[in-house]
């Protein structure tokens, strides 16, 4: 496992160099995708640096680029399908072949869909305005009467808040692309999210600072989400992930979006 930034790390790697994996080929593509000539990938477009959909409809992000590489390996066209954190699991299989975009592995999602091999180690921490940072050092400081915790509904952050916050007030904001602007403007005191997102947001907004990013509240993994019954695509994607982790693909994405050493 090679660190990107503190606890955020690409999953995999070992002391001994792995045997090189054979690159997946278009001829080995799942039949339905090969016949349709398109790989449909659901993504929320609101979780940088993994996925972002700009107002003009253009997409960018770590997993957006990864999806493009996957489609090229399959020899098909990539179609990105907007989804939300609330409808993510339902949309997989209904409107797309798989979902990508910083998706955390969770027991709840695993009951309804399938996860690939994890590709990133992450964890929950907090983000607040820098002038308020001295108030918060750990989760106990966050869960206090009078503390306003902002959250986007339907995803892992909302589930975490509901399970772990018993005294703080939860403020819901529907747009994850503008939620950090709300935090910076004082609409809430703190937000709990993944270390990867906190590091991205604090690097682009100097008014915000991370809390407990080196000692997160949880340990989580990121993976891609597929519908149940998609064993052929799951095997192909896991093979693609193995190759991408050793041929420099993930190293380049890591450098581009996290600024750290890449590869697994």
Element (H, E) at 199: helix 195-204
Q: Decide: 170 and 99 in contact? Cβ < 8 Å.
A: no
Question: Cα–Cα distance between 113 and 98 in angstroms, integer?
Answer: 10
Q: What is the pLDDT of residues 161-173, one digit of tens each?
A: 999 999 999 999 9
Domains present along the chain, CATH in parentheses: 2-121+220-258 (3.40.190.10), 124-211 (3.40.190.10)
Element (H, E) at 8: strand 8-10
Could you say which residues of the chain have pLDDT below 50? 1-7, 13-18, 20, 27, 260-264
Q: What are the CA-CA distances from residue 39 to residues 32, 55, 90, 154 (Å)?
A: 10, 23, 18, 25
Q: What is the pLDDT of residues 85-134, one digit of tens each?
A: 999 999 998 999 999 999 999 999 999 999 999 999 999 999 999 999 99
pTM flag (> 0.75): yes
Question: Cα–Cα distance between 182 and 8 in angstroms, integer?
Answer: 25
Question: Cα–Cα distance between 12 and 9 in angstroms, integer?
Answer: 9
């Amino acid at each position: 496992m090679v660190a990107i930034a503190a606890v955020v790390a690409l999953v995999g790697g070992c002391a001994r160099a792995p045997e090189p994996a054979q690159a997946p080929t278009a001829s080995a593509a799942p039949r339905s995708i090969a016949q349709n000539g398109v790989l449909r990938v659901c993504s929320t477009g609101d979780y940088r640096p993994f996925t972002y959909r700009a107002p003009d409809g253009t997409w960018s992000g770590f997993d957006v680029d990864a999806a493009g590489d996957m489609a090229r390996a399959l020899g098909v066209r990539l179609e990105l399908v907007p989804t939300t954190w609330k409808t993510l699991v339902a949309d997989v299989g209904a409107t797309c072949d798989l979902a990508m975009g910083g998706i955390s592995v969770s027991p709840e999602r695993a009951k309804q869909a399938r996860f690939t091999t994890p590709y990133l180690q992450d964890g929950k921490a907090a983000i607040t305005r820098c002038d308020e940072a001295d108030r918060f050092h750990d989760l106990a400081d966050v869960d206090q009467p009078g503390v306003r915790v902002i959250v986007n509904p339907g995803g892992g952050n909302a589930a975490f808040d509901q399970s772990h916050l018993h005294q703080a007030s939860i403020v819901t904001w529907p747009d994850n692309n503008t939620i950090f602007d709300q935090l910076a403007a004082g609409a809430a005191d703190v937000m709990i999210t993944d270390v990867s997102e906190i590091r991205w947001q604090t690097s682009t907004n100097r008014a915000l600072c991370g809390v407990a990013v080196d000692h997160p509240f949880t340990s989580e993994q990121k993976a891609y989400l597929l519908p149940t019954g998609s064993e052929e695509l799951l095997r192909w994607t896991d093979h693609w992930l193995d190759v991408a982790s050793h041929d420099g693909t993930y190293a380049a994405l890591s450098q581009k979006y996290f600024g750290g050493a890449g590869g697994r």
